Chain A
Amino acid sequence: MIPIRSYVSLLSRYLRRVKARMTVLAGFALGGIALQLLLPQLIGRFIDDAIGGAATDQLIPLALWFLVVALARQALAIATTWLAEDVGWRSTNELRSDLTRHVLDLDMDFHKEHTPGELIERVDGDVTALSEFFSAFVVKVVGNGLLVTGILILITFEHALVGLILSVFTLATLALMMAVQTVAIPWWKTQRASSAELMGFLGEQLSGTEDIRANGGVGFMVHTFTDILRRWLPRRVRSRLGFAMLWGTGIVHFVVGATLVMWLGTRYLGPGGLTLGGVYLIFHYTEMTRNPMDEIRSQMEVFQKAGAGIDRVTELMERRSNLDTSGTTAIPSGALSVVFDHMSFAYADDETSTVLHDIDISIAPGRVVGVLGRSGSGKSTMAKVLTRLYDPTQGRVLLGGVDPREASLHDLRRRVGMVTQDVQLFRTTVRNNLTFFDAAINDERLMSVLADLGLSNWLDSLPNGLDTMLESGAGGLSAGQAQLLAFTRIFLKNPGLVILDEASSRLDPATEAMIESAVAAVIMDRTAFVIAHHLGTVARADDIMIIENGTVIEFGERTTLQADPTSRFSRLLASGMEEVLA
């Protein structure tokens, strides 16, 4: 039942690196157990000697030895815990790192299906459980198992038959504990489900109080609340009785064990049998088995959970990306030409409805293309194909003459830059937000890039310059400022193709002016796709592309289209974009 084999096979690569520590750990654990077994022996010896009429100065050293051994055993126990934790965390930290990278490299279809919260649980939660599994297994199960075994062997040395009887008794108690636990686990689960139900209910209530009160629903909600409690109460009582039953096995163990020892002790006391000290020793030892057995029992539940965690981690590790990333072709330097060669695209989860249909367009290097279309028309999907977040379903795309599927992904991502409407910020400094924590990018370089983009003033306006802390989400920065940050991000890698999805919200004039100049700097000498929400932006485009329902319904030079009163573009200009595109 203990998933030790799958655990080792999952972690073997990582555990190998901490081999030396593991050896020391085993030494400490075994030493600790030996000392723990020695302690009652010393007491037994003391009693026999004392009753046998030994002098006080013979007994005192024995008592002092007892103290020394006890303290040494505690020191070893602490060292064991410390090392076990250390080994557990060291090995799982590496696993966590590999797993994070692996999940990050999975395709966007995967990321669309899994919330960050769920991934935290699987990458950190499950792996942390593995680390705890390690320390718990070494210290609690192996350690306690050896301790109980040692105790029974030593009792057998005192008296073979008594040892045999107590061994059977110990096994029977462990079996009883396990049986009770098997009964109780489902009870604990239903009680936790009830607790989760109430917390889920409360979470909704917290955000919805206005709706409830302003629509007269308070009485109903209190009624629902009470209903949940009424369902929970019997489950709660039953789950507590589960704990009580486990406690009960402890009581049974103590009472039956003690009476058993009294009976056996009386029976086998005497010459050729047990000494008085021996009876006391067995009494003490029997009592000593209770705690370790309880620990072993309670760890069983932990192990069952760890088993599920190991399965989940393995499953995640085996998940493969839909994107083949083995390509190695280099992408040429400088501005990139873009060719859509009868390209169509549909998302994997809904293959029947194509999002982009048969797009067949060539764009020369250095052109600026203004892309227009209602939301949901396929504009941002096109951007995702160009950055190779997705591969076309049919046809192909060529960037600088290279099919992204054959290009090295690292090269491709370096050569294609994208600024999306909602810029993702991290809860850290502006510097880290610009460099994605890449320490190789120094401040001089950042400063010069910011100057090139005309953002030196913006930087100066931040309270602590590059060290200004940002909140996660959009916190702290306006949408426009976040975009400025994103422009800097892509400028740092000097791409040959940039895709800009403009912020549609209204900006304050100062930010808007900065964005204007930053956009101009970013698209200079590069091929650019500008997904536009304002007419002002497309004014600087060389070409205009209008997309409707995944089809390019108009493509051509801006000046030509503008001059043609029958073109969609000129009609758009005439009617005002907001009405048509909203």
Chain B
Amino acid sequence: MSNPQTVPTRKLMVQLANRFRFRYLMNLAIWTSMWALPIIPGLLTRRFFDSLEAGTAGANVATIIVIFLAYGVARLAMMLMGMWNDAHMGFRLESLLRRNMIERLYALPGAQSVEHSPGESISRFREDIEHVEEAHGWTADTAGAIVFSAVAVVVLSSIDLRMTLIVFTPLVIVIVIAERFGTRIKRYRLAARKATGAVTGAIGELFASAQSVKVAGAEASMVAHIDGLSEHRRVLMVKDRALGAALESVFWNVLYIGTAIILILSAGSMTSGDLSLGEFALFIYFLDYVTDAVYFIGLFITRMKQAGVSFDRMIGFMRGSHWSELVQDRDLALRGSHPLPEISTARTAPALETLVVSGLGYHYPGTSHGVTNVDLTVHRGDFVVITGKIGSGKTTLLRAILGLVDATEGEVRWNGMLVRDRAAFFTPPVSAYTPQVPHLFSMSLRDNLLLGLQLGDGDLARAAYAAALEDDILEMPNRLDTPVGPRGMRLSGGQVQRAAAARMFLREPDLLIFDDLSSALDIRTELTLWDRLRSGNTETTSLVVSHRKPALKMATTIVLLDEGSISAVGTVDELLKSSRLFRDLWHGTTST
């Protein structure tokens, strides 16, 4: 559901250049010169061959060689400087885009932030940004290529206008046509890439199902299937590469055809002395460079188009943002001191008395799944459990209250005050939340718990104890400083859940919100956790999704959901008497 706004590639590029004005101007100056400089050796080559022909080389050659070497040194120095500046500029440009995208990612409602598979989203942070950076860098080169071509054509025209026109006109036409064909090759490339995807996908599936395939004794037919896909890929791959080679050869052919034309046209004039050997050499030398330049300009146009597509994808990723947000200026803090940001623990709202949800409704787009017209009230000190069958809308209700999905119906009031931006409001110290599958990050357990809070070991130990995690920490090789691995994979499922609970407790929020915290815990650990939560601080208020008995028994209020609506509200004893659905859930007889 990205809003269709036209993305102005050129404006974005100009704004990016503006963000790094000084470095960009330096780039422009350096790369224009880099393209224009080869005119010097061209002219020197001409002078050399002319004096060689005239028999005066002995006197001149020393001067020519000295100038030539000086040219080499100047070009080398300029190139190194240009690359250095370009590296800094390119990196900053990429960093700015990445930073703006990630800021937007954090600001989006959670459920909607990632529309694509993680791999797809990552490619926006990698390939798309690289495309833009490259195209942007090439603007300076293209300016140089244009300047160089213009000067070369003027110099050559002054030698022989007719030959210049005859050589360069077909050159430009052929290269433009070849560029056009470039889009066709993209189609072949896409097909080849798709065929590769089919092969790797099938191999991945095969090994993911190794056990099933073995048990079925179906090894031979599965491998034969993959062989078929590989064969298909070979055909497409060979076609793609051969076409690429053919296209490149068009470019070289232009060079050779041009040279042949020069030879034919100069046949008469060289014999008669109208065209000197030096002038002939200069023609061939410039022909090479100008072909390069024209080819480059053509590539640049393609790159700009690609960058436009990339901009599109990046802005699509920042759903609902205006394009200018992608390039907005920020302090990237790449240099100088970089202290950890102070996290404010100041109250952003008065202490919780009541949380009132009324008429809340949300449905997943295009479906009837969701929650409808939910009213519920949480008082300070309550332990409210939302329960119901699988798919009854428990998680959706929590997310709707927290603003993690965009609930369009109903409202939420905090002590009677209407909460407008719920996603921004329900953060510490007002509340903290642990989703059904909590996420940890590839850093130490300590950093995972603190997430930037500046608290000491004492606070950490208290939170870990409250989350029944203290024994686990003692068994870890580096205690709190143990790295938890990518996505917390080095911890067990239960440890991840309790670490996420400790992460919440550290923030001492008014309202604790758990979604099915205990799903990976055994009964004993779960009881310990609830016990400590209740005995530690009677002031805490909890809003919990659970279907397990220990949590239900502790509840001050149970909200029973059925197909997205509230079916009953009460305590265990009340609901056991009044609700058949609850009795079924409680006795676990719903499956028969």
Which A residues are closer than 8 A to B by beta carbons? 39, 43, 46-47, 50-51, 53-56, 59-60, 62-64, 66-67, 70-71, 74, 77-78, 81-82, 85-86, 89-90, 93, 96-97, 100-101, 103-105, 108, 111, 114, 116-117, 119-120, 123-124, 128, 135, 195, 198-227, 229-230, 232-233, 236-237, 239-241, 243-244, 247-248, 251-252, 254-256, 258-259, 262-263, 265-266, 269, 276, 279-280, 283, 387, 389, 409-410, 413-414, 416-418, 420, 423-424, 426-427, 432, 435-439, 472, 489-490, 493, 506-507, 534-536, 576, 578-579
Contact = CB atoms under 8 A, between A and B. Distances in A.
B257 A210 contact: no
A416 B267 CA distance: 85
B216 A489 contact: yes
Given A60-B264, A104-B207, A104-B222, A237 B91 contact: yes
A288 to B, nearest CB: 11
A231 to B, nearest CB: 10
Contacts of B238: 82, 85-86, 89
Contact of A223 (B210, B338, B441): B338
Contacts of B225: 432, 437
B174 to A, nearest CB: 13
Nearest to A119: B207
A226 B332 contact: yes
B536 interface: no
A258 B45 contact: yes
A209 B84 contact: no
B280 A82 contact: no
Contact of A427 (B95, B205, B432, B588): B205
B588 A215 contact: no
Nearest to A214: B433
Contacts of A439: 221
Interface string B73-86: 00110011001101
Given A50-B267, A211-B500, A251-B79, A256 B72 contact: yes
Nearest to A411: B217
Contacts of B442: 200-201, 204
Given A225-B102, A248-B80, A414-B217, A124 B203 contact: yes
A214 B204 contact: no
Interface residues of B, number: 144
A499 to B, nearest CB: 9
B249 A263 contact: no
Contacts of A59: 263, 267, 271
Given A233-B334, A236-B87, A240-B83, A206 B105 contact: yes
A120 B207 contact: yes
18 contacts: A56-B268, A59-B263, A70-B260, A85-B238, A86-B234, A93-B234, A209-B114, A211-B439, A214-B435, A215-B507, A237-B87, A244-B80, A252-B72, A255-B41, A276-B277, A416-B215, A417-B215, A424-B209
Contacts of A280: 49, 277, 281
Contact residues of A: prevailing secondary structure:
helix
A214 B334 contact: no
B219 to A, nearest CB: 5
Given A53-B271, A255-B71, A437-B225, 12 more contacts: A43-B259, A77-B245, A104-B207, A111-B211, A116-B204, A204-B441, A209-B105, A213-B423, A236-B91, A254-B72, A417-B216, A436-B216
Contacts of B440: 208
A9 to B, nearest CB: 22
Contacts of B537: none
Given A82-B245, A220-B340, A229 B259 contact: no
A413 B215 contact: yes
Nearest to B504: A215
B245 A216 contact: no
Interface stretch (B117-125, B139-147, B456-464, B470-478): B117-125
Given A50-B270, A59-B267, A64-B260, A206 B121 contact: yes
A230 B201 contact: no
Nearest to A576: B588
B242 A82 contact: yes
B230 A123 contact: no
Nearest to B442: A204
A215 B263 contact: no
Interface stretch (B11-19, B62-70, B356-364, B573-581): B62-70
A82 B209 CA distance: 36
A317 to B, nearest CB: 15
Contact of A67 (B72, B108, B257): B257
Nearest to A415: B217
Contact of B390 (A199, A213, A239, A506): A506
A473 B35 CA distance: 54
Given A50-B270, A97-B226, A276-B53, A214 B439 contact: no
A269 B227 CA distance: 63
Interface in B249-281: 249, 252-253, 256-257, 259-260, 263-264, 266-268, 270-271, 277, 280-281
Contacts of A85: 237-238, 241-242
A70 B110 contact: no
B343 A219 contact: yes
B72 A215 contact: no
Nearest to B587: A576
Nearest to A139: B245
Q: Which 4 A-B pairs have the closest CB atoms?
A: A220-B452, A255-B72, A413-B217, A217-B451
Nearest to A52: B271
Given A206-B114, A418-B215, A216 B451 contact: yes
Given A211-B434, A219-B452, A120 B256 contact: no
B52 interface: yes
B25 interface: no
B590 interface: yes
A224 B486 CA distance: 15
Contact of B122 (A66, A128, A199, A255): A199
A269 B64 CA distance: 17
Given A116-B208, A244-B80, A81 B591 contact: no
A105 to B, nearest CB: 7
Contacts of B227: 93, 97
B211 A108 contact: yes
Given A230-B338, A424-B208, A104 B245 contact: no
Contacts of B435: 210-211, 214
